[in-house]
Amino acid sequence: MNLGCAAQLTAERCEALLSGQGFLVIDGWFGEPRASDLRRELASLHAAGLLVPNRTSFAVEGRAALFSKPHIFEADLHDARLQALFDDSLPHWKHWFSESAGSFCGQLAAALPQLALQSGGAARAVKLQVNEGGGSFPWHHDNPGPRCARALTLLTYFNPAWTPGDGGELVLLPFLGQATAVRPLHDRAVLFLSVRSLRFAEAPAHLSCTRSIRTASCIAFCQAGPSAMLPQPGSTGRP
């Protein structure tokens, strides 16, 4: 079974990720039929009403306030309610959830030792997302600052019918670099450094577009401790 990325993280790709570009785009991440099986399970979750609106916290008059984004729904695979469905309804997500904390995480840490990634279940956050069209994300860092240990973000897309105009392009802006738009194509993975790259997601060309339902998953991998530092632009982090 193809588990994706570790075998595809060649030395050349790791160099590009760490030494300035700050991101990688890899197609055929899971392979078929696995990618379609994951999409089918995610669509079933959404149809059953088991995804919740994406919410963001902002400071309003000195207090935290939560705001929901329209048309964007998420599920956290650390949620016990969803894990209870693993065996019957989400066998492929169960497998990937387990591997992302186990052998895959170990292989990822070995391929990118400069990031000092943690291993184990607490080392990453795994979320699923459905965008019904019309929603988007503003510019942001996945690591907002001190006390956040996120070091590497992995996005995977499941959109076999995507066409230009549907929206959802991931726009990445590496530190002191040029913005790059990445199409959310089916079975495509994007890895990027959570601190160094700003990102946003584009809305559809027509906000009333109903054919642009998009699905994706996101895993944020964390560093091992406060002493671990991301390599700076222009450096691979090697001694």
Q: pTM surpassing 0.75? A: yes
Tell me the β-bridge partners of 58: 65
- Ranking 103-107, 196-200, 227-231 by mean pLDDT, the lowest is 227-231
- Show the tokens assigned to 228: 């671990």
Look at residue 232 and tell me if it is in a domain.
no
Distance CA 166, CA 209 (A): 7
pLDDT above 70 for 200: no
Q: What is the DSSP string of 134-182?
A: S--EEEE-SS-STT--EEEEEEEE--TT--TTS---EEEEETTS--EEE
pLDDT above 50 for 170: yes
Residue 18 sits in a domain whose CATH number is: 2.60.120.620
Distance CA 55, CA 66 (A): 6
Domain of 129 in residue numbering reads as: 5-54+67-222
> DSSP class of residue 4?
-
What average pLDDT does the structure give for the chain? 77
Our count of domains for the chain comes to: 1
Look at residue 59 and tell me if it is in a domain.
no
pLDDT above 80 for 201: no
Q: What's residue 237's pLDDT?
A: 34
